[in-house]
Structure 1
């Protein structure tokens, strides 16, 4: 009896398995096999979804030390799938969280007293926004500190001390991309009460957290240590925002909002890419507020050009080079 193909998360979705082929027949898969697999999604899925499925198979193949044969033909196939994607396959773009939204949230939080959960809310919101985090990178599913996994989620000691500029680094033990090595996030002081470095400091102080406590642990009214969960965090945010007609936000909206915020501030895209830990240029699709971005950058260009023209007319800019 022929051996059944082994089951893997990526392999379960692999076209070859559905055709009755064995792993030995498709590992390493030829480009023709990969193209056939990709072509099975034509007219059914969005291009990005099809590409993600191929990426999963690529990881599956490479973890076995085998060659990946996806080349020009596969790229052309994926481009064709993108063009043929059905309209229903496109998810409506999620809105970004904005600084104004954070301001509304902070107005409703009790940050003058000893409300542990409110200080945790402030730290989580500014942490996700300015750190361009995915919610699941710091917010657990369970509020029980005994179920907290420090190998997947940060503890207080993972938030480094402030340097001479007031910046702090947060080590994320595990992220969506870096499952084992983790990554680092940089927080810089911001003006006003919505500074992430200030929010982290006040949160840890008010909740009396030790180095090994969950980063978003908090003391409830009985002084018992709990952990702010993703569901509780988002529910509270959306309850407050709904009163102001703000659409429902997801955890990813904070990451989108942080990226948009930095781009609108005129920070170079390559710096934003580094800060937000993007591995590709896909983050550029988060230029949500195109009208504002275009206006800001065009205004800066005209101001700079006007200044240079004045310098040239005054004879003080003979050796200027834009490079």
Structure 2
């Protein structure tokens, strides 16, 4: 994430939106498709996140928690909240989102991650919703410039999951953060065990808990 950040200009409207999506997706353990649009003209406020869907709450201990309401997700037709908090790392989602909102200033009913553009021959700004294609293209460019392996949308989902597990966050808490239902989280971890294993091996206790958690029940 830090290497990608070095290849983005956070004073540029597109890069500010891309960086906000990167960090929020990662720390909210979200799916990329919950924050960006499949097509440029596909925005539907009853399905997609808009500027008005962002709010700041506080947890039971008084800590600030940022919330983005997704009107409809794969798991719930009535919508779900994505939650994240300020991080001490250089890739803080709160700072990234605040920068995007300040620079691009999408209006209340507009797609949350819209960014300013100026059409050729015009002096007036327009707002363009960030699509999955535009997001991926910019991330691929930044990854190549940073000599990184090409990233995919699911890399952020599994990356956020791994980040919290390595911090020692209990599996069931990470499951709740990622909004997995029933045994879906266990199956997800099994599917990505090969990716997770090299990192978990450096944390024997976490690795042991991981193995116990994902092992099929004895019958």
Aligned to 1:283: 188
**What is the distance in 2 between the residues matched to 1:167 and 1:126?**
15
Aligned to 1:273: 175
Q: Please report how far the alpha carbon of residue 141 of structure 1 lies from its aligned counterpart in structure 2 after TM superposition.
A: 2.3
Q: Please report how far the alpha carbon of residue 162 of structure 1 lies from its aligned counterpart in structure 2 after TM superposition.
A: 4.5
Unaligned 5+ residue runs, structure 1? 1-101, 302-323
Among residues 41, 44, 52, which one is paired with 1:157 in the alignment? 52
Aligned to 1:107: 6
SS of residue in 1 equivalent to 2:64: coil
Moved over 4 A (4+): none
Among residues 73, 81, 96, which one is paired with 1:199 in the alignment? 96
Aligned to 2:69: 171
Cα pair 1:158 1:171 within 8 Å, conserved: yes
Among residues 144, 157, 178, which one is paired with 1:255 in the alignment? 157
Larger-gyration structure (1/2): 1
Q: Please report how far the alpha carbon of residue 196 of structure 1 lies from its aligned counterpart in structure 2 after TM superposition.
A: 0.8
Aligned to 2:216: none
Residues 187, 267 of structure 1: CA spacing in aligned structure 2 closer, same or farther, 3 A cutoff? same
Q: Please report how far the alpha carbon of residue 205 of structure 1 lies from its aligned counterpart in structure 2 after TM superposition.
A: 1.2
Question: Structure with the greater relative contact order (CA < 8 A, sep ≥ 6): 1 or 2?
Answer: 2
Cα pair 1:273 1:283 within 8 Å, conserved: no
Cα pair 2:7 2:146 within 8 Å, conserved: no
CA RMSD of superposed structures (Å): 2.1
Aligned length: 195
**What is the distance in 1 between the residues matched to 2:103 and 2:9?**
12
- Matched ranges for 1:1-323 at <5 A: 102-111=1-10, 113=11, 115-144=12-41, 147-163=42-58, 164-178=62-76, 180-221=77-118, 222-279=124-181, 280=183, 281-285=186-190, 286-287=192-193, 288-298=195-205
**What is the distance in 1 between the residues matched to 2:3 and 2:202?**
26
Cα pair 2:7 2:145 within 8 Å, conserved: no
**What is the distance in 1 between the residues matched to 2:160 and 2:29?**
5
